[in-house]
C-alpha cells in the first residue's frame, strides 16, 4: 500500500509539472508575435511563438537531423538579410528545401554539377523567408535542443554561444496542459482519500 501511495504521489507531481509547463506556454502565447530579425534579437523575444521575418535561410549550410539519406528535417542557419551572422537555427520540413538538400548532397557527383545546380536554384537560396513556429526552451526540450546544437557545431557552423533554436510549424499545445492538470488533480484527490482512510484505521464490526 505504501509503495502504491508514493507512486501515485510521484505520478501526480509529474503530471502537475507537465500541466503547469504547458498551461504557462499556452496562456503566455495567445498568438504568434511578429519579429524582424534585422532589427530585433530572436533570443530576447518576449514570447516563444513567433513569426520571424527579414531573414534568409543559408541552405548550403543546412544539415540533416537524421544524418542519413532518409531526410526527416533540416537544421538551417537563419541569417538576417544583408548580415552574415546567424540569428537562429531553424528546424524545418519544407519540401522544397528537403528536395534541394537531397539532390545537392546525394544525387550530384562532380563540383561542376553542384555549381550549376546552385546557380539554377539561386532564387531559392537568396529569397527572404517568413518562418512561423516556436523557440525550443525549458527543461523538457533541453535534451533535444542540446543534441541539435551539438550536431550543428560538429558540422563546423560558426554559432553564437546562446544561439536560439526555432522549430518551424510548431504551435503551443491547446488542450494538453488542461488534461495533465485535471489528471494530476484527480490523482491527488485519490491520494488524499487513501491517506484519510489510512488515518481512520480499520473499522471493527459489532
Q: Residue 41: name the closest of 166, 205, 198 by CA.
A: 166
**Who's near 110: CB < 8 A, 6+ residues apart?**
none
Q: Looking at residues 129-144, what average pLDDT do you find?
A: 78
Q: For residues 138-160, b (16+ Cβ closer than 10 Å) or e, as one string?
A: eeeeeeebeebbebbeeeebeee
Classified as helix, coil or strand, 134 is strand
CATH architecture of 31-171: Beta Barrel (2.40)
Position 206 scores a pLDDT of 46
Domain residue ranges of the chain, discontinuous segments joined by +: 1-29+172-206, 31-171
Neighbours of 39 (CB within 10 A): 8
Residue 163 has pLDDT above 50, yes or no: yes
Q: Does pTM top 0.85 for this prediction?
A: no
Amino acid at each position: 500500500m505504501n509503495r502504491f501511495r508514493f507512486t501515485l504521489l510521484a505520478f501526480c507531481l509529474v503530471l502537475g509539472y507537465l500541466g503547469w509547463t504547458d498551461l504557462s506556454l499556452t496562456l503566455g502565447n495567445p498568438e504568434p508575435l511578429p519579429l524582424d530579425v534585422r532589427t530585433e534579437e530572436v533570443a530576447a523575444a518576449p514570447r516563444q511563438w513567433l513569426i520571424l521575418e527579414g531573414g534568409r535561410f543559408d541552405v548550403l549550410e543546412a544539415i540533416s537531423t537524421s544524418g542519413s539519406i532518409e531526410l526527416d528535417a533540416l537544421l538551417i542557419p537563419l541569417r538576417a538579410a544583408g548580415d552574415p551572422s546567424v540569428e537562429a537555427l531553424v528546424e524545418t520540413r519544407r519540401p522544397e528545401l528537403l528536395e534541394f538538400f537531397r539532390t545537392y548532397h546525394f544525387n550530384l557527383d562532380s563540383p561542376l554539377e553542384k555549381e550549376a545546380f546552385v546557380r539554377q536554384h539561386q532564387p531559392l537560396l537568396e529569397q527572404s523567408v517568413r518562418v512561423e513556429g516556436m523557440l525550443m526552451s525549458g527543461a523538457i526540450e533541453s535534451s533535444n535542443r542540446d543534441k541539435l546544437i551539438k550536431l550543428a557545431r560538429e558540422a563546423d557552423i560558426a554559432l553564437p554561444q546562446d544561439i536560439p533554436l526555432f522549430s518551424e510549424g510548431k504551435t503551443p499545445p491547446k488542450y494538453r496542459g488542461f488534461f495533465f492538470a485535471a489528471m494530476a488533480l484527480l490523482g491527488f484527490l485519490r491520494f488524499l482519500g487513501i491517506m484519510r482512510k489510512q488515518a481512520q484505521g480499520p473499522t471493527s464490526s459489532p
